[in-house]
A and B are shown apart, each in its own frame.
Chain A
């Protein structure tokens, strides 16, 4: 079976199982599944652009928040799916503007800038809300059914993975991978790097905006601090990196693992959760830069050799000193 067919089959099997979940699982499990789906979408789409082009974007929270605010403000006037679509569209538009301004900068500059812009947007909206509208947050009174929200998120997650599968096989995906490998060479080979980068950036923004739009109703109350929380962006990046940003299933698996951890630990022992997240990230970057998905038997064997070599060195040095 071709790899694509296999991937599609797995995807639909999972989707089917997930769709049935709300009917037999408890409230808590469904809420956990919701978080899983959210991060699965966010990190899959993030990995799609940032994993291949190696441009680390920390702007996920900005797009998420934009989507959330859009749907909070728009839900009174328009139907559910339209609000989601609007959220995605506005987020993508902002991404195009942001991208055009900053995508010519390399690596660290880009990451730091996206972070700065996220914070700028957050503080701008906070200030606007406080001084102009005179409010701190917004209460959502019109809230759709829990199952609607769940199915929407499931749909978005499936769409994200499908897009991932499709893009990887397309010229667009190859162009992005080329940019990641060696941008200058890609340019000389005729790739319009600027356009590709902006398009990719807008794509992940659209997904983040859609997810934000859908999740805002979960909270019944949103304020800039909650929906523009930089931690959403950090966690997305962490999950994608630990899972293996350039792979298809890596982010998904990592998203499930971390969402479970997050939901179980967050209310009781959030510090332990965050510390383990930080530690895991450090260990991953140091020892497993390709992420968990790149873990192979060979890697484990290599680690075994490294550890044994380390011990030998230690003892031989001690032996030399003793003499």
Chain B
């Protein structure tokens, strides 16, 4: 089999050269960016049940970040700029694939840095690896008390953990006079831990749980459960759910006419997708959200950049996306200061108070103690933070019946 050789350089190469030459002439620093690229590896769910979450909250941010950094000449590694090379693959929402791939990335490929996968489950599985190989992990989509308890020095959780999130929710419900709640939770690490934290928060609050049911990931039909909840007429419905189930629960509640005063679904409500699917029905729905473009000018800048790159149909979500971007901001600052010495990066992350688009972030062990637990609500097409009052972008409104 003979190899075809192109007698002329491809069009792409010409364009690249045409763009690069004047740019190189204008910015001499670009010429210096001939140093080896910074290799950053990760896996992300591109197929399977985690895809919705992963492709909204995490991967687009990784891509946007790499693009932004490279457009400015590369990642600042202790003064010199080096291009970022992302080495990624689809983990198919399968833990085993995650673990094996990260082992390969850190153990044999020996990449410079790694970025975490999506979800509490996957992060729980790869956390010991981070420690074993000594790669700092800044995880923006993991909620797990167990992870914090493992006290892994190389693992950092950016998202607010179950306790602060559930405390915030219960405090808000209590202040607004709710007396009874019905709960469903996915029997995944996320759901289990949040449910445990919720029960602790509710104890002594004067509110009672009238029904609580767990369901498996990938459930097709929640209407029997929702029907019996409707029958019990609780003030609040709390769904500790993942994006596909959040949508399922919302649609089926609408289908059967289940209209509690407060309707809370944890993950997925912060997504633009939720507004698209539920349309006017999204009004008044509560969920886990901690920022929007009103939170700070840098938040707005990030929002606009995201929409510019991915289109108006792909906004960042109002919770984990912010945390992902904040994590990348922290990583950028760490590499600028400490270079690619992974231990030094880890020490910098652990010991400094960081300014990010979602506010100040500070780590106590693995946990981010800078961002408080929050509750957000859909109001007129935007997911507004309504609790705690200090971080609120709007005040709580009553939820109308499903339309």
User: Which residues of A does B touch, CB under 8 Å?
Assistant: 26-28, 130-131, 134-137, 139-141, 219-221, 223, 225-226, 266-268, 270
The reply to whether the CB of B89 lies closer than 8 angstroms to some CB of chain A is yes
The reply to whether the CB of B95 lies closer than 8 angstroms to some CB of chain A is yes
B128 contacts which of A26, A130, A134, A139 (Cβ < 8 Å)? A139
Contact A223 B128 (CB under 8 A): no
Contact A136 B128 (CB under 8 A): no
Task: Across the interface, name the chain B residue whose C-beta is closest to A28.
Answer: B108
B107 contacts which of A27, A130, A135, A140 (Cβ < 8 Å)? A27
The reply to whether the CB of B146 lies closer than 8 angstroms to some CB of chain A is yes
Question: Taking each of B96, B108, B189, which has the highest tally of chain A beta carbons within 10 Å of its own beta carbon?
Answer: B96
Contact A136 B189 (CB under 8 A): yes
Give 27 A-B contacts (CB < 8 Å), ordered by A residue: A26-B108, A27-B107, A27-B108, A28-B104, A130-B214, A131-B187, A134-B192, A135-B189, A136-B189, A136-B192, A137-B95, A137-B125, A139-B150, A220-B99, A220-B125, A220-B129, A220-B132, A221-B128, A223-B125, A225-B95, A226-B96, A266-B97, A267-B89, A267-B101, A267-B104, A268-B89, A270-B92
The reply to whether the CB of B20 lies closer than 8 angstroms to some CB of chain A is no
Contacts A139-B128, A267-B89 known; list 9 others, CB within 8 Å.
A130-B214, A136-B124, A136-B188, A136-B189, A137-B121, A137-B189, A139-B150, A141-B128, A267-B100
Rank and list the top 5 A-B pairs by shortest CB-CB distance, nearest first: A221-B125, A27-B108, A136-B189, A130-B187, A226-B96
Which residues from chain A contact B127 at a C-beta distance below 8 Å?
139
Shortest beta-carbon distance, B88 to chain A, in Å? 12
Question: Taking each of A131, A134, A136, A270, which has the highest tally of chain B beta carbons within 10 Å of its own beta carbon?
Answer: A136
The reply to whether the CB of B196 lies closer than 8 angstroms to some CB of chain A is yes
Which residues from chain A contact B124 at a C-beta distance below 8 Å?
136-137, 139, 221
Task: Across the interface, name the chain A residue whose C-beta is closest to B131.
Answer: A141
Q: Bound complex: CA of A219 vs CA of B124, how far in Å?
A: 13
Mask of B72-109 contacts with A, CB within 8 angstroms, 1/0: 00000000000000000100100111011100100110
Shortest beta-carbon distance, B81 to chain A, in Å? 32
Residues of B in contact, count (CB < 8 Å): 27
B214 contacts which of A26, A131, A141, A268 (Cβ < 8 Å)? A131
Contact A267 B97 (CB under 8 A): yes
State the majority secondary structure of interface residues on B.
Answer: helix
Q: Bound complex: CA of A317 vs CA of B101, how far in Å?
A: 56
Mask of B103-135 contacts with A, CB within 8 angstroms, 1/0: 010011000000000000100111111001000
Contact A219 B196 (CB under 8 A): no
Task: Across the interface, name the chain A residue whose C-beta is closest to B129.
Answer: A220
Shortest beta-carbon distance, B79 to chain A, in Å? 34
B95 contacts which of A27, A141, A223 (Cβ < 8 Å)? A223
Task: Across the interface, name the chain B residue whose C-beta is closest to A136.
Answer: B189
Which residues from chain A contact B92 at a C-beta distance below 8 Å?
270
Given contacts A131-B214, A137-B124, A137-B125, contact A219 B192 (CB under 8 A): no
Task: Across the interface, name the chain A residue whose C-beta is closest to B108.
Answer: A27
Q: Bound complex: CA of A135 vs CA of B189, how far in Å?
A: 7
Shortest beta-carbon distance, A132 to chain B, in Å? 11
Q: Bound complex: CA of A34 vs CA of B150, how far in Å?
A: 29
Mask of B121-155 contacts with A, CB within 8 angstroms, 1/0: 10011111100100000000000001000100000
Shortest beta-carbon distance, A254 to chain B, in Å? 22
Q: Bound complex: CA of A141 vs CA of B189, how far in Å?
A: 19
Which residues from chain A contact B128 at a C-beta distance below 8 Å?
139-141, 220-221
Contact A226 B95 (CB under 8 A): yes
Shortest beta-carbon distance, B213 to chain A, in Å? 12
Q: Bound complex: CA of A268 vs CA of B188, how far in Å?
A: 27
Which residues from chain A contact B196 at a C-beta distance below 8 Å?
134
Which residues from chain A contact B187 at a C-beta distance below 8 Å?
130-131, 136
Question: Taking each of B101, B132, B187, which has the highest tally of chain A beta carbons within 10 Å of its own beta carbon?
Answer: B187
Which residues from chain A contact B150 at a C-beta distance below 8 Å?
139
Shortest beta-carbon distance, A215 to chain B, in Å? 11
